Amino acid sequence: MLETHPTPAASIVPESAVRAATPEAARILTRALEGRELQFSDAMELCEVQEADLAALLSTADELRRRQVGDVVTYVVNRNINFTNVCTVGCSFCGFSRSPRAEDAYFLSLEEIAAKASDAWERGATEVCIQGGLPRDLDAWFYRDILRTIKRAVPEMHIHAFSPMEIANGMDRTGLPLREYLALLKSEGLGSIPGTAAEILDDEVRARLSPNKLPVARWVEIIRTAHALGIPTTSTMMYGHVETAEHRIRHMLLLREIQHDTGGFTEFVPLGFVHPNTRLYREGEAQAGPTRREHLMVHAIARLLLGSAIPNLQVSWVKMGLELSQKCLEAGANDFSGTLMEENISKSAGATFGEYVAPAEFRARIRSIGRIPAERTTTYRIRQRFPAADSADRIAPRLHVAGGSAPHPPASGY
């Protein structure tokens, strides 16, 4: 059961912001504030807003966030475990994958994975997020064995693991039907699935990004089947590469349709494309990641389109940096993501925002924008609220350059 924190419905959107908007934008924003579900044409108009209209959009998204989930900003104490960087899929947006013979190729043993999970538990983590490359010679039952190994080492740890691409890979290797394979993983300890490998849910775009990736229909089938079996998933979208505004909006509307049918998405996570070390960017096929304006607009429009169906909207600090993530928390988002403890995929693509944020720093940054910090579980049950500041809650020094962000933003877990 997802936990939300509704507050009184009185609008705090500055009236001057809406009055200053153009009539077209004001009409759409008013409908959103009235609780009416926006459609494709509405969202496309909002993608073109400028100046005063943009200010009104961001204010409206923040107000809807307040109504839908309240003033609590959540985070989860977790650890990423990317068990191998060996992969044969060949995604053009990835800087993480290596060939088996590369000097820096690695493959963690089950014992090493268990040790990382145990260490995370001792450091206060309640979740491990497990994803990795797709090697050609992966054992058919390796994903099952990861689950068994972690559950033996840390029985209470929530395992958030295996993208739909990995699920498809495991099915192909074991020969099991989808429903039977997912049921097996659930019985072995799989708690939830990251809704990554989504990129943009449009087959023409996906063909440009990674011809070997599973098609949209397959991604949707795996997600819907997981939900039907009681396995919750996140939902994601990678933006700022070759896609258009139309692709983004249709992607979000497809997620909304799935959520209306299944209710299985725990959150929506916009993932800005991180370009520096990717073939897609080096070959001139993609823009240099999203602009600051695009980051803010994607989060704001996501709140307007998805908030009533998927109330939790997460920022990816590892991609945007902490300062811009805070701005997105003032433009519709309500979750600061996880501590991570280590992060390999974004770092390999050029990430410079770090691999770990301490819970105390999350709390300090959440308070600095006038909100209430709370630690959550993977499925958004509140474990503890922190209404009063603690002496440990401090913002750590970070790399700052002109514009408030690092020169090369990160890329992780698409």
Question: Each residue of 117-176: pLDDT tens digit?
Answer: 999 999 999 999 999 999 999 999 999 999 999 999 999 999 999 999 999 999 999 999
Question: Distance of CA 7 to CAs 56, 66, 297, 331, Å?
Answer: 21, 7, 24, 17
Residue 5 reports pLDDT greater than 70: no
**pLDDT of the residue at 1:** 37
Q: How far does Cα 180 stand from its chain's mean position?
A: 27
**pLDDT of the residue at 6:** 41
Residue 112 reports pLDDT greater than 80: yes
- Sequence-ordered list of residues with C-beta below 8 angstroms from that of 194, at least 6 positions apart, any chain: 129, 131, 160, 161, 162, 163, 233, 234, 236, 413
What is the edge-to-edge ordering of all strands in the sheet holding 158-161? 78-82, 127-131, 158-161, 190-192
For the chain, which residues make up each domain, given as ranges? Answer: 15-67, 72-385
pTM of the model: 0.90
Identify whether the C-beta of residue 401 lies closer than 8 Å to the C-beta of residue 407: yes
pLDDT tens by residue, 215-269: 999 999 999 999 999 999 999 999 999 999 999 999 999 999 999 999 999 999 9
Q: Which helix (H) or strand (E) holds 236?
A: strand 233-239
Strands 372-376 and 382-385, bridge-based pairing: antiparallel
Strands 190-192 and 127-131, bridge-based pairing: unpaired
**pLDDT of the residue at 14:** 56
Task: Outline where DSSP puts E strands in 33-147.
Answer: 72-76, 78-82, 127-131
Report the top-level CATH class of 72-385: alpha beta
Q: How far does Cα 266 stand from its chain's mean position?
A: 10
Count, residues in the chain: 414
**What average pLDDT does the segment 328-345 reach?**
86
